[in-house]
Structure 1
């Protein structure tokens, strides 16, 4: 077994081709956040990104994209920004996780969105739970029939609101894979405002994240692309989403809508149109990501298992990092699993967000300067 750690930009064509071959060979790896294209983009924007190239018997058997922070603290690629992490490897690869960390010069790494059951990290999994999917493998009509059968009242209400939106605000239309950069910036502005209203961390206050999304939006290939979708009433955008796709899977990333149209439920409306167009484009599923949201529970027709895990080598850094992270992680899990605590925490965050939103800078659509 040989492990070589490089920057993404140092990967050669042979390694890039091999990465794509390995990813395509396993359905569990069919997620755009595990694609070499995403890792290359992150490497262009962040100096701390590394890739462990794993060779077994002289042949490349896997890749482990990650971030190396100060004092040997590791983070999965993209950290809190993405919803899938793991080793991109052949099924038969067996490597000790601590030996992998040692080769990467890492003392500790925590995962919140790990591909469940990977041999390298399975012994360290601390929590495994389902993430909702929109299963489009049998086509849109089969999917929507499942949604309608599971909650006929909700489905009927959404379709009624769609007709009402069309009558009162203009004809409803949906745009799939829009190349409109101004539409993308409209969506990011909605999302930034949502983060601030609800007391969450505003991702788009960080220019490198805006730059990443812009670069992903410009990606167009059969196996990897950014997909911007927008729902309009007349000529007015009312809801949208930006995500990434492979040849078969679209991953939910940044959904948002204009709060002025909230009474029409444009977000749910948008997702039904999204499913229809995704199926027409040949996609088999829409991964909505781990998280308890009512709309996800209503729209899901399948699940994928996602794990939390922590791997540490004995060191002072790992001990200090445990104190700062693990108790908070356990508290978060307790809150999420208790509906009463979750509702109370959500209300508190929204109150905090309203109080501070006037003081925070808003997302600006001009192209940001590159930062590291």
Structure 2
């Protein structure tokens, strides 16, 4: 475990903690928390965040390496820990070279990816219309096309995770582009945007920040095709070292990754009656959802087994 420690700023804010089933949030409870998010490099090195004393109701620590959990709790014995989720934080090394990267996929996955690319290319008239945006002069065009897709994507409608809108978001995009600290891609079909990906940079690491696709073209797998071709471009370019798929699990992230770090999202709460009620409520709800999912999978497998026995 690395010894470098991340020092969080003593700033807390009202954070809505979701009671979530899959992609759907049923309700939220607000607590005054300081959010501490670890970068990929910090998670990989086992950074233990040094938490200041003033923290409102406590802390929400995102993407803490699981190996750093015990040392962190030993530092803060007066706070009550609640693990919200455990997950692998996936990443991809961009300095492998695309041929070596592709060789890391199973034969079935390689065949499936190439088939999807070919299918969409044929629908585009023989060549994919994928455009990469990286300069300040291209920022406004990228933002316009990305917002057009985001507005109709399930990421924005169901997860509230769409490409940010407004002048402040556009100004940030321009500033990042001006210092070569972002990449954006838009995939077009018949001159209409159908998928986008926005990845800001932290040093030589690109961060998988916002993405979406037009559900009307889901049969063409536009998000998968865009990611595949974006990885090809990044490895040919050689500007960045890592692609960080950030916290949370998913088949898409697993497919395109080359490595992972076991991480947790952790609530550290002051042990007041109201805080403990919130923590135990979230924990109980999460466990109930996990049990329900497990039972649903079990019943599905039992049903399949019965059909096979007939």
Is structure 2 residue 190 aligned with structure 1 residue 190?
no
Q: Which residue of 2 aligns with 1:275?
A: 231
Unmatched segments (≥5 aa) in structure 2: 16-29, 75-80, 301-310
The 1-side partners of 2:259 and 2:219 are apart by: 28
Q: Is the 8 A contact 1:112 1:307 kept in 2?
A: yes
- Deviation at 1:270? 0.5
* 1:108 and 2:53 aligned: no
Distance in 2 between residues matched to 1:321 and 1:308, nearest whole Å = 16
Between the aligned partners of 1:260 and 1:94, the Cα distance in structure 2 is: 44
2-side partners of 1:325 and 1:72: how far apart? 12
Q: Does 1:236 align with 2:180?
A: no
Determine whether 1:252 maps to 2:208.
Answer: yes
- Residues 53-92 of structure 1 correspond to what in structure 2 (within 5 A)? 62-65=6-9, 67-69=12-14, 73-76=32-35
The TM-score, its normalising length taken from structure 1, stands at: 0.58
Q: What does residue range 278-293 of structure 1 map to in structure 2 within 5 Å?
A: 278-279=234-235, 280-293=237-250
The residue number in structure 1 matching 2:265 is 308
Sort the Cα spacing of 1:213 and 1:315 in 2 relative to 1 into closer, same or farther, 3 A: same
8 Å Cα contact 2:133/2:142 also seen in 1: no
Task: Give 3-state SS (helix, strand or coil) of 2:105's partner.
Answer: helix
Is the contact between residue 244 and residue 252 of structure 1 (CA under 8 Å) also seen in structure 2?
Answer: yes
Is the Cα–Cα contact under 8 Å of residues 3 and 48 in structure 2 kept in the other structure?
A: no
With the length of structure 2 as denominator, give the TM-score of the two structures: 0.68
The answer to whether the Cα contact below 8 Å between 2:88 and 2:249 also exists between their aligned partners in 1 is no
1:154 and 1:163 mapped to 2: Cα distance? 14
Q: Which residue of 1 aligns with 2:93?
A: 135
Q: CA deviation at 1:276?
A: 1.8
Structure 1 runs (4+) greater than 6 angstroms displaced: 26-29, 85-88, 90-94, 221-224, 335-339
SS of aligned partner of 2:8: strand
| Deviation sequence 1:77-127 (CA, Å, 0-9, x none) | 5xxxx8859989x989885x5xx3xx2242322334334444763655745
Structure 2 match to 1:225:
181
Deviations 1:50-70 (A, max 9, x none): xxxxxxxxxxx7520453339
Query: Looking at both structures, which has the greater relative contact order when contacts are Cα pairs under 8 Å and sequence separation is at least 6?
Result: 2
Contact in 2 for aligned 1:216/1:226 (Cα 8 Å): no
- Asked if the contact 1:107–1:312 (Cα under 8 Å) also holds between the matched residues in 2, the reply is yes
Distance of aligned partners of 1:246 and 1:87 in 2 relative to their CA distance in 1, 3 Å threshold: closer
Q: Which runs of 5+ in 1 are unaligned?
A: 1-25, 30-60, 344-372
Question: How much does 1:143 deviate?
Answer: 1.1
Structural RMSD (CA): 4.2
Aligned 8 A contact 1:107 1:317 in 2: no
Hey, what does 1:369 align to over in structure 2? none
Name which of 214, 220, 224 aligns with 2:170.
214
- How many residues are paired up? 272
How many angstroms apart in 2 are the aligned matches of 1:28 and 1:301?
A: 25
CA distance in 1, matches of 2:277, 2:97: 50
> 2:222 is matched with which residue: 266, 271, 274?
266
CA drift of 1:218 comes to: 1.8
1:271 positional shift: 0.3
Residues 281, 184 of structure 1: alpha-carbon distance in 2 compared, 3 angstrom cutoff:
farther
Return the alpha-carbon distance in structure 2 between the equivalents of residues 339 and 244 of structure 1: 38
